[in-house]
Structure 1
């Protein structure tokens, strides 16, 4: 499972296979009406972005190593507080967004497709 929203906690990559070292998720709708985007590079979560559609606090287990910082859509620091099990609690108003990164890291928050790391059978509807 790439993202999971359970009991009000948003978990990023809770059961991702180790072979999936690169991952992009874009506008995944979570419980609580947040749109979530996230990027993993070299097996590490680089950033997580949440955009609130209704305005409510959310708890995120982001999986980013070390200390984190949270910024709004204009790059200003947002307040957050620690939550249980290594998560953080962010209070967002309707339409606000938060970008979670490792402290001091400034990753490119653009969404770019991930290249496959191995051949795989096609799935979904036939072409």
Structure 2
């Protein structure tokens, strides 16, 4: 089971990576509430070989550095005030998310 999770979500070098190692034949994949460092629950969906969206729920106030691997320009919206995009470098984003907030990331 942990091998499947590693295909869908990895955390190393301080960055969460979404669908970093999905086999090419797996065109449609999704997961719900995978826990990662910093008290975050991550959910994501991939359709037709492309990442569609990533949802991040914060169990505590904190920051998350994430590489969502979404195509196009990133759009995001949150369920609570206080969510901030602090950094954007080469498709890796640093967000500050308050406790109880959900952040939805999408490409366009």
Give TM class, smaller chain: 0.7 to 0.9
Q: Does 1:95 pair with 2:100?
A: yes
Dislocated runs of 4+, deviation >6 Å = none
* Superposition TM-score, scaled by structure 2 size: 0.84
* Superposition TM-score, scaled by structure 1 size: 0.73
TM superposition shift of 1:39: 0.3
The correspondence for 1:69, drawn from 75, 93, 96, is 75
Number of matched pairs: 101
Structure (1/2) with the larger helix percentage: 2
Kept in 2, the 8 Å contact 1:70–1:79? The answer is no
Kept in 1, the 8 Å contact 2:87–2:95? The answer is no
The correspondence for 1:16, drawn from 11, 19, 22, is 22
TM superposition shift of 1:58: 0.5
Q: Does 1:33 pair with 2:20?
A: no
TM superposition shift of 1:80: 1.4
Q: How far apart, CA to CA, are the structure 1 residues paired with 2:52 and 2:105?
A: 9
Larger radius of gyration: 1
Query: How do 1:80-91 residues align onto structure 2 when only pairs under 5 Å count?
Result: 80-91=85-96
5+ residue gaps, structure 2, are 1-6
Q: Secondary structure at the match of 2:31?
A: strand
The correspondence for 2:49, drawn from 36, 39, 43, is 43
Compute the RMSD of aligned alpha carbons: 1.7
5+ residue gaps, structure 1, are 104-127
